Amino acid sequence: MQGVDHGRPGGEDAWRRDLTALSAWLASGRAAGGEPPPFTAEIPEMRQLADQIRDLLGAYGEAASEQAVLQDIIANLPHRIFWKDRQGRFLGGNANFLRDLGIQSPAEFIGKTDYDMPYPRDQADWFRRIDEDVMQSGEARLDVEEVMDRPDGAYVLSTSKVPRCGPNGEVVGTLGIYVDITGRKRAEEEIRRLYERLQELDQLKSQFFANVSHELRTPLTLILGQTDRLMREGGLTGRPQRDLLSVIDNAKLLLKHVNDLLDIAKLDAGKMVAQYAAVDVARLVRLGASLFDVAASDRHMTFTVAVPAELEAEVDAEKVQRILINLLANAFKFSPAGGRVHCQLTAGDGHIRLVVADSGPGVPAAMRAAIFERFVQAEGAVTRRFGGTGLGLAIAREFAELHGGRISVGDAPQGGALFVVELPQRAPAGTDLQPAAVDLLTDDTAVQQTLRELRTTIGTVRDEQPSGRPLVLVVEDNPEMNRFVAEILSDGYRIATAFDGVEGLAMATALRPDLIVSDVMMPRMAGDQLVAALRADPTLDGTPVMLLTAKADDKMRVALLRSGAQDYVMKPFVAEELLARVGNLVTAKRARDVLQLELESQTGDLEVLATEVSRRKRELQTALESVQVAREQAELASQMKTDFLRLVSHELRTPLTILQLHLQRLSRRGETGVGPELASVMRKMTAAAQRLFEMVNSLLQYVRIESGQLRTANAPIDLTAMVADVLAEWQETA
C-alpha cells in the first residue's frame, strides 16, 4: 500500500512522533512546566489549543483529587450523611447511612425516595415535609428531632438539613446529616425521672419536718404551761427553783429549734410571707444589738454599733430582727475573747443596708455559697464547736429574699467575716401595711440561751468544797449540763469544770484529778480525742475517764472503750446511776494509787510487772467488751436531710436530757412533802417530757433506717401477748 504524504519531512512517522510528544506534554500537567513540542510553533492554532487542553486537564486533575479527599472525609465521619435531588430521590450517602439502612451498596438506594425505604408511611411523610420546607425556604433546618422505627426498636435522631444549590444558585435538592441521640434522650429522661423523685422525697421530708415539729410543740406547750403556773404560784426556793428555771430555759430552747423547723417547712411550702409595716429600723437594730452588750463585756470584746438616729422602712420587723440576731450571734460565736464585732445600718438607692463584721476566722471562699444553704453544715469540728442546727444563716437568707433582698459574705477589715444584708426600703406596690410593729423579741429565751453560750466560762475548783475529798473534773460544752453534773457530784466530791477538750486537758495536767467525766461531742477537742491525749501523757495515763454520750449503738460503745475510757453513761441518765459509776471509778483509782505506792517501794522488776499487768488488764477489759458486740457494719452514705435529721435530733436531745433530769429531781421532792398538787403537775410534765423523748428517739431511728444502720435482733415472741400489751397501753392513753 502506498504511504500517505503528510506534508512534512519524515512523513507519517514524523507526525506520530510529534503527537506522542504532545500527548506526553499534556499528560505532565501544568505543574511540570516546560515547553510543548517544537512542531506546535509551526502551527499557532495548534500551540494555543495545546495550552488550553493542558490547562483543562490540570484543573480536572485537581478537582478529582479534591473530590477524592471530600469523599474520604464523608465516608469516615461518625455522622450519617445523605443527599437528595429536588424530587426527594437519594443521590448518595456515606457508609454510616448505608449501615443504618441495612444495605451494602449505594446502588441499592440511589434513585429511591423515603417512601421506598423501610419506614412507616407517616415517617416518610414527615421526612418529605421537612425536605420541601428546606427547599422552598432556602434555609437550613437544624437539630430537628425525629423518631425512627427499626426492627430492634425506636431511635431518636437529631437531623439537620440544608438546601443544595446548583451553579446558578437555584435549589436542586437537600443535604442531610443526623446523629443518633437515643442514649442521650434516655439519659435525660432518667435524669428527669430521678429529679422528680428527689423533688417528691424533698416534699415528703419537708412535710415530715412540719408534722414532727407540730407533734413536738404539743408536749412542750404543756411543760411550759405547767412550769409557768408553778413560777406564778411561788413556793420554790434554792435548788428546786433553779431546777425549775432550767426546765423552763431548756423547754424554750427546744421550742426555738422546733420553730426553726416549722419556718423551714413553711418556706418550702410557700406559706411564709412578709408582714410589711412601717418600722424604725434604726431603733430595731439598736435594741437588738443591745442584747449582746453583756456578752461583749464578759468577753472583753469591742462591740460597735453605727446607726442613724432614725431610719424608717417598710419591712417585716420580726423577720428583720431574726436576721440581725442570727448574724450577731454568729459573729460573737466565731470571734475570740478580746475580739471585735461591728454592726452598721445605712440607706441609699432605695435600699437599707445592714452590715455585721467580726474578727473571727472568716469564711473560706469555697464555703461562702454553702453556708447559706439549708441542711449544709460546715465541717464537723466547726459545727460541734459552736453547736446549733445550722439553720441560722439559711433562715437569714430566706427572710432577706422574702423581702426581695439579698445577703452576702466577704472579708471584714479586721480579718473575719463580713455579712451584708440589702433590703428594699419600701414594700412592693399595692402592699397593705400592717400596724406599726413595736413588740421586739428582747426577752426571747432562745436569744438569751445564745448569749449564755457566748459567755466565757473558765473552769475552776469550787472553793467551798472540803480539800480532802476526791477531785472530779467535769468537761462538758453545754453550760446547763455542765452545771447539772457538777451539782449532782458536789455533795461528795470536789469539782472542777471545763467547757471543751482543750480546757479539760490543760486542767487535768494542772490539777491531776481523781476522775474525769467528759462529754463526747465537744468543741475543739472531742471526748475520745481527750482520752487519747491523756493516755499519751505518762503522768495522766492512769487517770480514769467516764464519757457521756447520746449515741446508743454498739459501734460507738466499742470505740469509746477502745480509746481508753473506763466507763460511759448514756444520755439521758438518772443521778443515782451517775453517782454509782463515779463512786466505783474513784474508789478503784484510790485503790490503784495505794497499790502504786506499795509497788514503788519494791524492786524494779516488780514495778515493771505491775505496769505490764495494769496494761494487760486494760487491754483485756476492752477485748472482752468488744467480743459482746457484732462486727462493725460498714457505714452507708446518707442524704443531706438525713444528716440534718441526725444533727437536729442531737440538738433536741441535749436540752431535753437536762429538762428530764431536773424534772426527776423536782418529782422526787414532790413525793416527799411538797403536796399532791405539785406532784400532779410533776407527773404531767414528766409524761410530756417522756413523750418528747420518744419522738426524738423515733427521729433517730428513722435516720438509722434511711442510712441502713438499723440493727435487728431476732427472737421468739408471743404475738398474742404483744398485741394485748399494745392495746392495753393505748386504752390507758385513750
Q: d(Cα 537, Cα 506) in Å, to the nearest integer? A: 12
Residues 6+ apart with CB under 8 A from 65: none
Place of cell 437528595: 84
Contacts 24+ apart (CB under 8 A), 558-562: 558/625, 558/626, 558/629, 558/632, 559/528, 560/520, 560/527, 560/528, 560/531, 561/621, 561/622, 561/625, 561/626, 562/622, 562/626
Q: d(Cα 309, Cα 286) in Å, to the nearest integer? A: 10
CB half-sphere exposure, 50, CA atoms < 13 A: 25
Q: d(Cα 82, Cα 726) in Å, to the nearest integer? A: 75
Backbone region of residue 640 per phi and psi (left: phi > 0; alpha: psi in -120 to 50; beta: other values): alpha
Q: d(Cα 245, Cα 248) in Å, to the nearest integer? A: 5
| CA 270 vs CA 196, 206, 267, 319, 432: distances in Å | 18, 12, 5, 16, 19
With a cut of 70, list the residues of the chain below it in pLDDT.
Answer: 1-76, 150-151, 209-210, 213-214, 234-235, 374-390, 436-467, 551-556, 594-653, 667-679, 681, 699-713, 726, 729-734
How high is the pLDDT of residue 395? 87
How high is the pLDDT of residue 358? 93
How high is the pLDDT of residue 356? 95
Evaluate the CA torsion angle 662, 664, 667, 673 in order and state its sign: negative
Q: d(Cα 295, Cα 303) in Å, to the nearest integer? A: 10
Q: d(Cα 79, Cα 165) in Å, to the nearest integer? A: 22
Find out whether the peptide bond into 9 is cis, omega within 30 degrees of 0.
no
Domain topology for 471-627: Rossmann fold (3.40.50)
Terminal-residue alpha carbon distance, the chain:
138
CB half-sphere exposure, 610, CA atoms < 13 A: 17
How high is the pLDDT of residue 632? 37
Q: d(Cα 527, Cα 560) in Å, to the nearest integer? A: 9
Q: Do 276-433 and 471-627 share a fold?
A: no
Q: How many CB atoms lie within 10 A of CB 561?
A: 21
337 in Cβ contact with 299 (< 8 Å): yes
How high is the pLDDT of residue 21? 63
| CATH class given for the domain over 77-180 | alpha beta
Helix (H, G, I), strand (E, B), or coil: what is residue 264?
A: helix
Residue closest to 275 by CA, chosen among 428, 125, 164, 463: 428
How high is the pLDDT of residue 643? 58
| CA 186 vs CA 190, 193, 200: distances in Å | 6, 10, 21
How high is the pLDDT of residue 634? 31
Q: How many CB atoms lie within 10 A of CB 546?
A: 22
Which CATH architecture describes the domain 276-433?
2-Layer Sandwich (3.30)
How high is the pLDDT of residue 85? 93
The residue type at 492: G
How high is the pLDDT of residue 390? 64
pTM over 0.85: no
Domain map (residue ranges) of the chain: 25-72, 77-180, 276-433, 471-627
